Chains A and B, each alone.
Chain A
Amino acid sequence: MKNKKNSDDKRNFISIFYEELSNSSLTIIILSIISGFIMGGILVILTSPEVYKAFGTSFLSGISTSWKIVANTYSSLFLGALGDPAKIGAAIQSGDSALIQKAFTPFLESLVVTTPYLFTGVAVALGFRAGLFNIGAEGQVLVGAIAAGWAGWTFTGLSPWIHVPLAMLVGALAGGLWGFVPGFLKVRTGAHEVITTIMMNYVAYYLIYYLISSPLRDPNEVTPKTPWILDSAHLYRFFPEPIRFHLGFFIAIAVAILVWFILFKTTWGFEIRSVGLNPNASKYAGMNITLVTVAAMALSGAIAGMAGASEILGVTWRQSQALASGYGFDSIALALLAQNHPLGVILTALLFGLLRSGSRVMQLRAGTPIYIINILQSFIILFIAAPAIIRTIYRLKKQSVKEVSTSTISFSAKK
């Protein structure tokens, strides 16, 4: 602690990061996550017929069966997300690079799943900071993907140095447009962005459905699919097949840091935060709240659009009918968990990415459906949004100052 005070002048990145995070009641966050897992475990126990059978024989065997099932579920979740520690250890000892890559594959795959979460989480967090509830990340991801894909297969003969940024930009622009419309409607007509972004999600959904099934369809395919994007539009993959870990992850981290910098270090970020907390006073102080609101919403949409772009340029290389990704709603949970802090989003996106990626292995190995992670997420939101519940459960002291969490933003239906 003393050290920190001495080096206060040259506060490095880590210490700022630490300070910002501990300001945002870290304890509550960690307890919320733990409690979410506990609730998930309870649900797994309640829905396992084996447990009831075991309780039928004896109480103790019931308890031990319950424990076994939960342990199996969560351990396969983490094995799936992080990889098998034993294998990793063995691979490192053997020094065989192919083996090492194989052992780290699950973790790298989790980072692949984390990437879109990073983008959408930052997008939603930015919206919240500007007082906007962007439920439209889902649609923004979709249009971002299709637009980036279109740029990816349409422009031929480009160097990757140009093609990739161009395709990302096109995706961002499409997502930005999808964010701009609700922002514009809000400031111009007072239409609430919660409803309009939801509507925009459905419009995006049917639009993509239409685009893939006729104008942008690959004529050689039986089922509706777009053409493959060109090699020059591929986001760089760091490892040979089948590891898909790609450059998008680092772009996403860079975006998170950039948004953090904008929000807390620049005048424009000051305006965004002020408008988000009190649009009236911001207007009085001479800020252009119309511009700030629309721009923040468009930027939020653009970042979400980049999520779609990085998926199609880095992972799928084409768009097929599999559409509803769930990233939109998950990212609300994720942003709340990060207290709408872009750097916090890096951690929570990683958590959600690990969960999502591990859940597939969990479903295979433990037979627990992947949807358990939705339930975990909903409980985590619950505990984060109502810290009083956590305080009661864990008998924490009540904070003397009134709690100011994300829910201080008021989303009344009208202006």
Chain B
Amino acid sequence: METPMQNEKIKIILNYLSNYRQHIPGVFFILVALFIKLVLTKSIEPEALTTFSTNINHTAIQIPNWVFNTRFALDLIAGLCAGLGLYQIIRGFKKGISSIIGAIGGLVVLGFLVWGASGTSISFTGMLAVMVIRSVPITIGALAGILSERAGIVNIAIEGMMIAGAFAGAVIGSILGLWAGILAAILIGALLGLVHAVLSIKYKVDQIISGTMINIFSTGLTSYLFIKFLQDSQNQWLNESGFFKPYAIPLLSKIPVIGPIFFDHNLFIYAMYFLVILLSIALFKTKWGLRHRSVGEHPKAADTLGVNVFRTRYLACVLSGMVAGFGGAYFSLGSVGRFEQTMTAGRGFIALAAMIFGNWNPLGALQAGMLFGFAESLTTKLSLLQFPIPAEVLLMLPYIITMVVLAGVVGRSRGPAADGIPYEKESL
């Protein structure tokens, strides 16, 4: 027979173990710290220096480059990771855990940068500016996802809406000018959003199947039209839209480091900021947002209070399509200046991951978008630095991080309760 004392002890131990969800990330953080301290630091000479150059253009006020001791910087990073890990084990970060995981990811990457650039210099500001640019389609895509999922419709068709937007943007942009191109991209997105709405709301088709269908359709259609018309050298004028030129925002772009990173870009980047702010306010501070979210959480409750569930969901899908179409226009009108068949390269799916990572919040989506953008920007940078890790492996990282985040955080992050469930009026 167990004595009560033993019993108590067992209880305490079990209690401790049952908190493994809290402890595992903490242990992981500390392992990361050990890795930085023991593996990375080892190969560095004590007096080696790393240079982060901070000036990429001449509009901003120039400040000196950052030069620091590599070992010291690595120790600092390792210390931070270990500290976060200890706090997680002892107290736990509870709700903020996903941003902490993001922060740890950032620290690891920073560590690699410091380590890789030891003895040379890398353009830190330039890299972050690229990060902001690369985050645009992901963040905007995630916003599109938030719009529909907050009203209870899963939209996995963002990829398809984006490619359609990119195509319409390029072609109409070539014929009628850039602004008309944007308008066309938004309209085509709205149209596809409407199709998704009709299928999933009216016909109650499984929303993932409907989304898959839209993805296949718009990839097929854009490729079909591209090969049929745009490949012909006579028709090249149809695919020469050009792109929006960067515009440095007066004053803001003059701030050292911050200015070139955030405020010296083209229309799409500013539109991204604007959309994030607009959506944050609209969803959480307005009557529209309250109703929109209520439909995604508990459509029956909303219905009994006179909120028109179907109309709200239709609108959500169409708005989601418009935002996704606009995000797609970034590829042609904001970046390349023409349409290419595989130009979205799965950004629409990453956007979904960013949405989940960002906990269905516009600001969270922006953060997640920046994280993925940083990973992309890093890859190009590191291959220039002749980094010992192959670029392909780094390119895998965002996807692996997404899976880790999904696996580790999904229990904590909570999506809209009625997400993906068709609403049936007569089923009360």
Interface residues of A (CB under 8 A from B): 43, 47, 133, 135, 181, 185, 188-192, 194-196, 198-200, 202-203, 206-207, 209-210, 213-214, 324, 329-330, 332-333, 336, 363, 367-369, 371-375, 377-379, 381-382, 385-386, 388-389, 406-407, 409-414
Contact = CB atoms under 8 A, between A and B. Distances in A.
Given A202-B396, A207-B396, A195 B216 contact: no
B206 interface: yes
Given A374-B219, A378-B217, A329 B399 contact: no
Contacts of A196: 403, 406-407
Interface in B259-275: none
B399 A203 contact: yes
11 contacts: A43-B221, A47-B224, A135-B212, A195-B402, A203-B400, A209-B392, A213-B392, A369-B223, A374-B221, A385-B213, A407-B206
Contact of B406 (A47, A185, A406, A411): A185
B224 A372 contact: yes
A191 B216 contact: no
A349 B42 CA distance: 56
Contacts of B419: 412-414
A44 to B, nearest CB: 9
Interface in B369-428: 390, 392-393, 395-396, 399-400, 402-403, 406-408, 410-411, 414-415, 419-421
Given A199-B399, A202-B346, A385-B206, A375 B406 contact: no
Contacts of A47: 224-225, 228-229
Interface in B350-380: 352-353, 356
Indicate the member of B156, B204, B213, B229 with the most A CB atoms within 10 Å.
B213
A191 B412 CA distance: 11
Q: How large is the interface on B (under 10, 10 to 19, 20 to 34, 35 or more residues)?
A: 35 or more
Contact of B396 (A191, A194, A203, A374): A203
Given A196-B406, A410-B420, A381 B208 contact: no
A392 to B, nearest CB: 10
Nearest to A48: B228
Contacts of A198: 346, 349
Nearest to A208: B392
Nearest to A374: B220
Given A189-B411, A196-B406, A407-B204, 13 more contacts: A185-B406, A188-B407, A195-B356, A199-B403, A372-B224, A373-B220, A381-B212, A406-B206, A406-B209, A410-B420, A411-B206, A412-B421, A413-B154
A386 B199 contact: yes
A411 B220 contact: no
Contacts of B396: 202-203, 206-207
A363 B228 CA distance: 10
Interface in B105-156: 149, 154, 156
A329 B215 CA distance: 9
Interface string B91-106: 0000000000000000
A206 B389 CA distance: 13
A329 B203 contact: no
A195 B223 CA distance: 25
Given A194-B156, A206-B393, A374-B216, A381 B224 contact: no
Nearest to B149: A413
A190 B411 contact: yes
Interface of B: 149, 154, 156, 199, 203-210, 212-217, 219-221, 223-225, 227-229, 342, 346, 349, 352-353, 356, 390, 392-393, 395-396, 399-400, 402-403, 406-408, 410-411, 414-415, 419-421
Contacts of B154: 411, 413
Contacts of A214: 390
A199 B402 contact: yes
A210 B390 contact: yes
A128 to B, nearest CB: 10
A371 B223 CA distance: 6
Q: Which 6 A-B pairs have the closest CB atoms?
A: A374-B220, A210-B392, A378-B217, A369-B227, A191-B406, A371-B224
Contact of B205 (A199, A209, A373, A386): A386
A406 B224 CA distance: 29
Contact of A185 (B214, B215, B407, B421): B407
Nearest to A210: B392
B403 to A, nearest CB: 5
A177 to B, nearest CB: 14
A167 B335 CA distance: 44
Contacts of B207: 411
Given A207-B392, A369-B224, A410-B421, A385 B209 contact: yes
B402 A206 contact: no
Contacts of B406: 185, 189, 191-192, 195-196
A336 B411 contact: no
A319 B227 CA distance: 26
Contact of A202 (B212, B342, B399, B414): B399
B220 A377 contact: yes
A93 to B, nearest CB: 39
Contacts of A209: 392
Contacts of A185: 403, 406-407
Contacts of B149: 413
A163 B348 CA distance: 41
Contacts of B217: 374-375, 378-379
Contacts of B223: 369, 371, 374
Contacts of A207: 392, 396
B390 A133 contact: no
Contacts of A374: 216-217, 219-221, 223-224
B206 A195 contact: no
A389 B203 CA distance: 8
Contacts of A202: 346, 396, 399
A389 B342 CA distance: 31
A385 B210 contact: yes
B205 A385 contact: yes
B220 A378 contact: yes
A213 B207 CA distance: 38
Nearest to A212: B392
Nearest to A185: B407
B220 A371 contact: yes
Contacts of B353: 195, 199
Contacts of A369: 223-224, 227-228
Contacts of B199: 382, 385-386
A26 to B, nearest CB: 20
A389 B195 CA distance: 13
A270 B349 CA distance: 34
Contacts of B219: 371, 374
B78 to A, nearest CB: 28
B208 A210 contact: no
A378 to B, nearest CB: 4
A379 B224 CA distance: 15
A200 B396 CA distance: 9
A203 to B, nearest CB: 5
